[in-house]
Every structure is written in structure tokens, then in C-alpha cells.
Homo-oligomer: A and B are copies of this chain.
Amino acid sequence: MCNNTIEYFLQRSIDIAKENCLSLNGGPFGAVIVKNGEIIAECGNSVTTTNDPTAHAEVNAIRMACKKLNTFDLSDCEIYASCEPCPMCLAAIYWARIPTLYYAADKHDAKDAGFDDSFIYEEFDKKEEDRSINIKHIRLNTTSTPFDEWKKMSNKIEY
């Protein structure tokens, strides 16, 4: 894939990000998923209009691409994002098995515009007990765990 094509898709993610905030659909973020040089999905952030805090541009685009391709595995796709993905979106890219990511702005630009991306990245670097969320690990006594059941199953669909 030549550089012009990469820049074309990255510019498309930026244009979507601008349109997305100016149309009041959500935050100033856009993402594009491409397979074989063709756009499969393109989405803006829709947190505020769908009341879904997980509806970031990258997550929306992954959901749309998977629906379109009828799979939960996007290992033959690339993703282009107007901004460096937050930890939720980066992990979603791993779970979707997308092997290639291009992004334009970075998490410092996002912070400067009032978004918590870099705060959450900093929280990830802290020990559990030092985080702003009150997190408690409680191991209950149970006869079998969900993982015990999973490991015994012969008809499970792995992912």
C-alpha cells in the first residue's frame, strides 16, 4: 500500500472527526476500517447521542465492520484513527485482531482538548491500590469456577 493511500484513509478519519463534532453527533474523533484497499466501516464517536460511554469512534467502527463482514476477527483489516486510541479502543483493536493501526493526533492533543485518554493511560501504570477507582479482588469459595466449566466444554466457540 502506497503512502498516498495511507494518507487518504487517515485524512478521511480526520474529516469524519470534524463532521462528527460539528454535527453534534459526539466527540471530535473518527475512525476508518479498511480491507483490501476498500473502506468497510467509518464512524465518529457517539457517546453523548447514544448514551454509551463505550461508543468511541474505533469501537463503533469495529462493531460496524464485524457486522458487515459477519465475523469477530478483523485480522485482514487496517484501522485509521484521527487520534491515538485510548486504552479501551487500543485493547478493542487487539481483541478484533486488527494487525495495523495508523493515527494522526496523539493522547497529549486529546488531553489538551479536555479528554481523559492520558489520565486513563496513567492509571494503567499504577498499582491497583493506587488507582482512582476503588478496586477489590475477592476470591469466593465455589465448587467450580466459570473457567473450570469452560475448560471441560467440547462444543465451545473460542475467540
In the assembled complex, how far is the CB of residue A42 from the closest CB belonging to chain B, in whole angstroms? 14
Inter-subunit contact A62/B72 (CB<8 Å): no
In the assembled complex, how far is the CB of residue A147 from the closest CB belonging to chain B, in whole angstroms? 4
- How many copies of this chain are found per oligomer? 2
Q: Please report the C-alpha to C-alpha distance between residue A155 and residue B21 in the assembled complex, in whole angstroms.
A: 10
Contacting residues of chain A (66-96) with chain B, CB-CB under 8 angstroms? 66-67, 70-74, 82-84, 86-88, 90-96
A56 contacts across to B, CB distance below 8 A:
95
10 closest Cβ pairs, A-B complex: A88-B91, A17-B146, A28-B146, A113-B147, A87-B91, A28-B150, A53-B95, A53-B96, A48-B157, A53-B72
**Chain A residues packing against B (C-beta within 8 Å):** 6-7, 10-11, 14, 17-18, 20-22, 24, 27-30, 47-48, 51-54, 56, 59, 62-63, 66-67, 70-74, 82-84, 86-88, 90-106, 109-110, 112-114, 116, 119-120, 123-124, 132-140, 142, 144-147, 149-151, 153, 155-159
